[in-house]
């Protein structure tokens, strides 16, 4: 979700669900150690509960960055062992780390020793064409011994050669039964399933087998879906949100961001373009909010133009 789940996106999603755990984009240890820490770790207080996802493979560096995340107030530190991109592989982290479970265990132990918040791992069920359950079982078992209690399982293999990151989200077959077997074999661990999940009915089906569900692009492209989650999965009363109310709150947020940081409204608006997905006039509404010729206008004037397109 690099360049997708930034703090503006997370603020928007938090308006729709009070309880779902939100995750940052993956932040590399190098970016934090050698770059602008505030730029990478700043968030809005409303985003909690919030997890920081790190990319790296050096235990000492990950421990330092995990400690930074705790100091900044994140509720969880997550290690990415699932990203298959060649750029990530060149950095010797992401999905290629699954081939080195003891190194991942060393990283997790260093992070656990450095912080009091939970340290979790996101991973695939295999790499390349190895579809043996024993591979992912041994990975989880080794890393669990180092102190990780939560595993987020993207239920596809990661092909490190021959497929793009996009193709890695579509071509390797989904095998949810692998996550189910992990839960059966490691009942004391929290197993969360991810990948190809697009409906609340599917979420409910998975929750009958494992402890949690992670959503990514489906939730991003159809954000109004999130507005059902608190009632459907957390026991809340049905919400009284309206799309118009959420949009107006986002315009107020845009104004605050512009005043505090000089953030153009377009940097925020791009994350809410799916808000009217499936509704009449949605295409015209999106055209207004994505029209950079309007970027000199204040956000509340763009709001008026967008509403004029759908009224």
With beta carbons less than 8 A apart as the criterion, state whether 87 and 60 touch: no
Go through 265-284 and write b for each residue having 16 or more CB atoms within 10 A of its CB, e for each that does not.
bbebbebbbbbbeeeeebee
Which residues belong to the active site? Answer: 83
Tokens of 87: 């750029």
- Which residues have C-beta within 8 Å of that of residue 123, sequence separation ≥ 6? 81, 82, 95, 98, 136, 139, 140, 151, 152, 153, 154
């Amino acid at each position: 979700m690099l360049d997708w789940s930034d703090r503006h996106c997370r603020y928007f999603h938090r308006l729709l669900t009070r309880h779902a755990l939100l995750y940052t984009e993956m932040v590399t240890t190098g970016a934090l150690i050698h770059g602008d820490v505030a730029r990478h770790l700043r968030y809005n207080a409303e985003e909690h509960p919030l997890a920081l996802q790190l990319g790296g493979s050096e235990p000492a560096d990950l421990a330092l960055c995990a400690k930074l995340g705790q100091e900044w107030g994140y509720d969880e530190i997550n290690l990415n062992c699932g990203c298959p991109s060649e750029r990530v592989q060149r950095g010797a982290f992401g999905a290629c780390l699954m081939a080195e479970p003891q190194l991942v265990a060393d990283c997790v132990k260093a992070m656990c020793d450095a912080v009091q918040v939970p340290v979790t791992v996101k991973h695939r069920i295999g790499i390349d064409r190895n579809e043996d359950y024993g591979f992912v079982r041994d990975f989880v078992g080794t890393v669990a011994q180092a102190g990780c209690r939560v595993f987020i399982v993207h239920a596809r293999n990661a092909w490190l050669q021959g497929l793009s990151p996009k193709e890695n989200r579509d071509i390797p077959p989904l095998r949810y039964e692998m996550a189910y077997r992990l839960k059966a074999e490691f009942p004391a661990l929290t197993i969360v399933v991810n990948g190809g999940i697009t409906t609340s009915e599917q979420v409910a089906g998975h929750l009958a087998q494992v402890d949690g569900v992670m959503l990514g692009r489906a939730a991003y492209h159809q954000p109004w879906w999130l507005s059902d989650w608190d009632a459907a999965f957390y026991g809340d009363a049905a919400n009284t949100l309206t799309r118009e109310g959420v949009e107006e709150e986002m315009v107020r947020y845009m104004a605050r961001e512009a005043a505090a940081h000089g953030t153009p409204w377009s940097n925020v608006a791009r994350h809410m373009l799916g808000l009217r997905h499936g509704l009449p006039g949605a295409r015209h509404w999106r055209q207004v909010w994505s029209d950079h010729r309007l970027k000199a206008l204040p956000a509340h004037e763009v709001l008026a133009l967008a509403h004029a397109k759908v009224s």
